A and B are shown apart, each in its own frame.
Chain A
């Protein structure tokens, strides 16, 4: 597609349930990033995928968080046993090395997760 697509756009879940958030990057972009934006806060790095390399998971806040990227394209961020502090907007971004890198990362519209 023309941009980074994220689904669902909104998700309300009960505390303790698992959730999956999906990101479709721009076709051909080799790098994919997940960030989290809590209410009134800046953006917090979570995880980064680059091609076939091992992902950089150093930003994941706990072992309840995990992410996959299948076939070098679509990524799924999974949060197990959700807690209220997980409520945030989860943003995905993709970028391409080379000339496209000059234009920075392209972000999706995000998934707003609310844990009740």
Chain B
């Protein structure tokens, strides 16, 4: 069975601080995908990144960066110089790698990030 754990339920920071959201996963699959989604107050889930299990290269996109470590089954997300607009619930998710038939996502419980001015 697959499981995603986001131990931080809520995080509150002051604008311009860096913040890291933790994600730990469990799976018996050797090939899988990891995702991060952002859910702003409007409610819609916004896709941020997908990583496959064979690609442990860290990724940076603007103020966002992701650290994937298979050895610790972690896929952490860091926001540098946080802004008020980053306030949202962030979900980490895991799926099997069945590209020919699609696959369900298993989500963590989410981390509520509040960035105060």
Contact = CB atoms under 8 A, between A and B. Distances in A.
Interface of A: 30-31, 33, 35, 41-43, 45, 48, 50, 53, 56, 59, 89, 91, 93, 95, 97-98, 101-110, 112
A109 B37 CA distance: 13
Given A102-B50, A109-B44, A110-B44, A42 B105 contact: no
Interface residues of B, number: 21
Contacts of B93: 43
B99 A101 contact: yes
B99 A104 contact: no
Interface of B: 35, 37, 42-45, 47, 50, 91, 93, 99-102, 104-110
Given A53-B101, A97-B100, A97-B102, A43 B47 contact: no
Contacts, number: 57
Nearest to B52: A102
B106 A50 contact: no
Nearest to A58: B104
A42 B107 contact: yes
15 contacts: A33-B105, A42-B91, A42-B108, A45-B105, A45-B106, A50-B101, A50-B102, A59-B104, A93-B45, A95-B102, A101-B99, A103-B47, A104-B35, A104-B50, A110-B44
Contacts of B108: 42
A41 B6 CA distance: 12
Given A43-B105, A59-B104, A110-B43, 10 more contacts: A41-B109, A50-B101, A50-B102, A56-B104, A104-B37, A104-B47, A104-B50, A105-B105, A110-B44, A112-B43
